[in-house]
């Protein structure tokens, strides 16, 4: 497989001069904003924002919207990518989901967090929440990684094959009206 290097250059640009991507689908809750402010205050920028150059020379964000919003007057590192609009959309759609697919080694994470001292209570809260979420997930699915199949509890069920999604929705609504406990599955 031939893999292209799409990075044209690294620039430092005033964050407020970057054009937000109109297709950006990520939203940022207050807890995330607060934690980012804490990390930026304690560590600073340690990653570049991803941008593409528009026909008029302006730089449009692909990744890093929250960092740009958080520090609008700062000169921030940006990687200028050699991608067109369609490729930028692909990156925008897949960049964060690919990172989210990574699995967590709970012991390694705990050890790492224990070795760090954060001044920002918001960063500490974020990491505490992360550990609680992982612990909760491991309690709900203790042997998830060890088993190829998820055990299905003994239930008496009926599976109805539908021609399409519309028929599935109609059947679901009909069964619910008749008092049945239903789930919608697409296999």
pLDDT category of residue 135 using cuts at 50, 70 and 90: confident
pLDDT (tens digit per residue) in 152-176? 778 777 888 889 888 888 988 898 8
Angle at 70 between CA 97 and CA 112, to 5 degrees: 55
Instruction: Give 183's contacts (C-beta < 8 A, 6+ positions apart).
Output: none
Provide the whole-model pTM: 0.70
pLDDT at 147: 54
pLDDT at 55: 97
Instruction: Please determine, for residue 105, whether its predicted confidence score (pLDDT) is greater than 70.
Output: yes
- Longest CA–CA span in the chain (Å) reads 63
The domain spans of the chain are 7-100, 106-140, 152-187
> Quick one: average pLDDT of 14-32?
96
- β partners of residue 75: 14
- Which stretch, 46-55, 99-108, 121-130, has highest mean pLDDT? 46-55
Structure tokens at 156: 């008496």
Map residue 120 onto helix, strand or coil.
coil
Closest by CA position to 9, among listed 84, 60, 82, 85: 82
- β partners of residue 81: 7, 52
Structure tokens at 9: 């250059």
pLDDT category of residue 123 using cuts at 50, 70 and 90: very high
Distances (CA, A) of 108 to 60, 102, 129: 37, 14, 16
**Element of type H or E holding 52:** strand 49-53
φ, ψ of residue 10 to 5 degrees: the values are -105, 125
The CATH number of the structural domain formed by 7-100 is 3.90.1530.10
């Amino acid at each position: 497989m031939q893999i292209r290097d799409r990075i044209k250059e690294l620039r430092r640009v005033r964050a407020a001069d970057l054009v937000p991507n109109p297709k950006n689908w990520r939203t940022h809750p207050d807890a995330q904003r607060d934690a980012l402010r804490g990390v930026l205050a304690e560590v600073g920028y340690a990653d570049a924002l991803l941008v593409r150059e528009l026909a008029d020379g302006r730089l449009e964000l692909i990744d890093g919207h929250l960092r740009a919003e958080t520090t609008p007057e700062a000169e921030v590192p940006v990687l200028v990518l050699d991608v067109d609009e369609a490729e930028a959309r692909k990156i925008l759609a897949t960049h964060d989901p690919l990172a989210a697919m990574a699995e967590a080694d709970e012991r390694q994470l705990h050890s790492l967090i224990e070795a760090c001292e954060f001044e920002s209570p918001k960063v500490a809260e974020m990491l505490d929440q992360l550990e609680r979420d992982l612990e909760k997930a491991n309690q709900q699915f203790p042997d998830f990684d060890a088993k190829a199949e998820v055990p299905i509890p003994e239930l008496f069920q009926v599976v109805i094959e539908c021609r399409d999604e519309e028929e599935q929705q109609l059947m679901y609504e009909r069964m619910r009206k008749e008092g049945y406990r239903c789930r919608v599955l697409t296999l």
